[in-house]
Amino acid sequence: MAKAAWVTGGASGIGAAVSRRLASQGYQVLVTDVDVAGGEKVAAEVGGVFRRCDVREPSDSVAAVSAAVDTFGGLDLAFLNAGVATGFGLEDGFSPEAYRRVMSINLDGVVYGAHAAIPALKARGGGDIIATASLAGLTAVPFDPIYGANKAAVVGLVRALGPLYAPQGIRVNALCPSFAETAIIENVRDVLVGSGVPLLEVSDVVAAFDAILAGEGTGEAWYVQVGRPAEPFAFRNVPGPRTPAGDKAPAADPSVQITAFREG
C-alpha cells in the first residue's frame, strides 16, 4: 500500500517542491492551499488530489485529513508548511487584525493541522509530522519580531510534541530554513541581496526535508543554511534549580517524569 501525505501551502514554493519529491518517492499526495488554481496545478502534476484549505480554520484541516483518509485509505505524513511573511513591527503598520492573521496562519495553522492529523497517524500505527518553522524561530530577528515570535512558537510546539507522541510511533520535527528563493521574501528580496544575505535554493530545503524524513529523531528543529549541511539545532540544557545554601534539594518523586526539561 502506498503511503499518503498531506501538504499545506502546497500550491507553490517549498510546499510544491516537497509535493513533487514525495510523489517521486511513491507517496499519494493531498495538496492543500487557499490558492485553488496553483494547488490544482501541482496536484495534477504529481498525480495527487487538491482540496482548498484555509489553515486558520480548524474545520478545514479536519476536512483535509478526512479527504486523505477517504481517498488514500489513511495518512502517514503531514507536512504543515503554509505560512506568510509578516512585514510589520509593534509601531507603524501594526494592527490587531494584521497580527491575528499572521499568527493564525503561521502558528494556529500548525496547531490545527497537528490536531487533525494525529488521530489519523495513530490509526496508521504511526507516522510523521513535519512543520515548516524558520531560522527566525531559532535566533533573534529584530527586523521582524512578530514573525520571529510565531516561528519560535512552532519550534517550541514541535519540541514538546516530539517526546509526547514518540511512544505511539509519531515523529514530530521542524524544518527551519533561512531565507529561501520563494514568494514569501518577494517584498524584502532586494534588501536581503543588497545586504549580502545568501539565499537558499528550494532544492536545499527539500534535501533537508528528506533528511528529516529519513532520520530517526523526533522533537528536533533542523536548521537549513547556505553552505552548511542541514542538521538538528543543539539546544543548551536548561539550568537546574538552585537551593538556598545549606538546604538539601527535595527528593525527586520517581513517579513524576518531567522529560521536557531534560534537554539533550
C-alpha cell at 80: 504543515
Say if residues 30 and 68 touch (Cβ distance below 8 Å). Answer: yes
CA distance 180 to 23: 22
H runs (alpha helix) in 176-258: 189-194, 202-214
The reply to whether 27 belongs to the active site is no
Beta bridge partners, 172, equal: 129
199-213 CB burial, b ≥16 within 10 A, e <16: bbebebbbebbebbb
Checking phi first, is residue 227 left (phi over 0); if not, alpha (psi -120 to 50) or beta? left
What is the per-residue DSSP string for 113-133?
A: HHHHHHHHHHHTT-EEEEEE-
CA distance 124 to 117: 11
Catalytic one of 27, 112, 147, 165 = 147
Q: Which residues contact 11 (CB under 8 A, 6 or more apart)?
A: 31, 33, 35, 37, 38, 39, 41, 42
Show which residues are catalytic: 147
